[in-house]
Amino acid sequence: MSLSALPPPNKRLGQNFLIDPNIVRKIVALAELRPSDHVLEIGPGRGILTEALSRAAGRVTAIEVDPRLYAYLETKQAELPNVELVCEDALTYLVENLPMGTVVVANLPYYISTPLLFRLLDQRDRFPRMVLMLQGEVVDRLVAKPGGSDYGVLSVMAQYAAEITKSFRVSAQCFRPRPEVASAVVLLRTQDRTRLSPQEEIAFRALVKA
């Protein structure tokens, strides 16, 4: 399929497609994937990251809400035999059906990045590692220290659930169309974290949000 035949970006969905293969390689390397790994990708877009993930992992589940992009990715299915394409909203997809130990590697849609992140962290027992591209200011909040201007509810809840490392920034030139906001890639490791009981966690969340 020619570039002119590619589905155009949907402004309502905040689509900015990653086009830089060097950034793709850095993301995949950061995920430390093995041939036995199952990967969850949210928002595969035109598939540049999906293709790299399919080469590095044993299985990829790619969730795309845009039916136009889903149809485009279906035309490449023969090149991606270990990729399961799902046309669904990631906020309603039953991640509970994914195997334990699934690795999340995703360029999260910025307009729903915070609720999506909370949903993934709610299932952190299933996801030992997450490599996420996010809006730069969201990453700054994720890694903020107590007392800083960026420190808030997101910082507290995310840092309780995972060890978070800001890995690298991504220039707007790496996307088409170019986003108006800065982007960054963050690594979250959720294994071996101290856990509260379900009742204690509910109380903890209520206290943080109060």
For the chain, give every domain's residue range.
12-209
CATH class of 12-209: alpha beta
pLDDT at 192 over 80: no
Counting Cα atoms < 13 Å in the Cβ hemisphere of 139 gives 23
Amino acid occupying residue 122: D
Residue 160 CA to residue 153 CA, distance in Å, equals 11
Mean pLDDT of 84-98: 95
pLDDT at 98 over 70: yes
The reported pTM is 0.90
Contacts of residue 99, Cβ cutoff 8 Å, sequence gap at least 6: 38, 126
Tens-place pLDDT, residues 130-170 = 999 999 999 999 999 999 999 999 999 999 999 999 999 99
pLDDT at 207 over 80: no
Cross-strand bridge partners of residue 105: 131
